[in-house]
Structures are given as C-alpha cells and as structure tokens.
Amino acid sequence: MWAHSRGGLELLFGSVKCHEVDLDSNEITVEKLLVWIRENLLKERQEMFLKGKSVRPGVLVLINDYDWELMGHLEAPIKDKDSVVFISTLHGG
C-alpha cells in the first residue's frame, strides 16, 4: 500500500510525501497502520501527527480518496495497493 502526506505533514517524514508500505498480512486497520508509522516513519515531533491512538485534530485521513469517517474510522480496513493520504487542514490565504 501507499501512505501519502500533504499540507505540510510531509515535513514530519523527512519531506518525503509518499511511502510504500509492505503489509505483513492481507489486511490491516488504520489503527494498526498508525502504530506502524509511529514506529517506523515518524522522524520528529509525534504530537504534530498523532494524538492517543488516532491522528491529531486538524488531520484528515483519506483511504482511496474517501474520508476515513465513511470507511470505519480507526477500524477502516486497508488492503494491498490501497492509498492512504494524511492531510493537514490549511488556514492560510
């Protein structure tokens, strides 16, 4: 699967916007993906990305271009070849 970050969040991942992630099993949940990201990808300032088991307020999670709220939130399943995007809401103008 592919994990993307946008809206400034990529800065937390060494400015890399796109990560390919090999899943051990056929299907995992967003919750498990967040744990994996915390342990393997997140280079600095975890509080800018995570809060508790979830993402911090102001971050939208998209699974194949669908709001994760429509897919089951933390329980949303992720399969091989899926694309997960983490996007920080912007306020500037």
Q: Could you say whether residue 47 binds other proteins (CB under 8 A)? A: yes
Shortest distance, position 5 Cβ to other proteins, whole Å: 11
Interaction between residue 62 and other proteins (CB under 8 A): yes
Residues 9-28: x/- map of binding to other proteins (CB under 8 A)? Answer: --------x-----------
- Among 44, 46, 77, 80, interactor with other proteins by CB under 8 A: 44
- Three-class SS of residue 6? strand
Q: How do beta strands 27-29 and 77-79 pair? A: antiparallel
Specify the long-range contacts of residues 60-69, CB closer than 8 Å, at least 24 apart. Answer: 60/86, 60/87, 60/89, 61/30, 61/85, 61/86, 62/86, 62/87, 63/30, 68/30
Chain contacts with other proteins (rule: CB under 8 A) = 6-8, 17, 44, 47-48, 56-60, 62, 65-67, 69-70, 85, 87-93
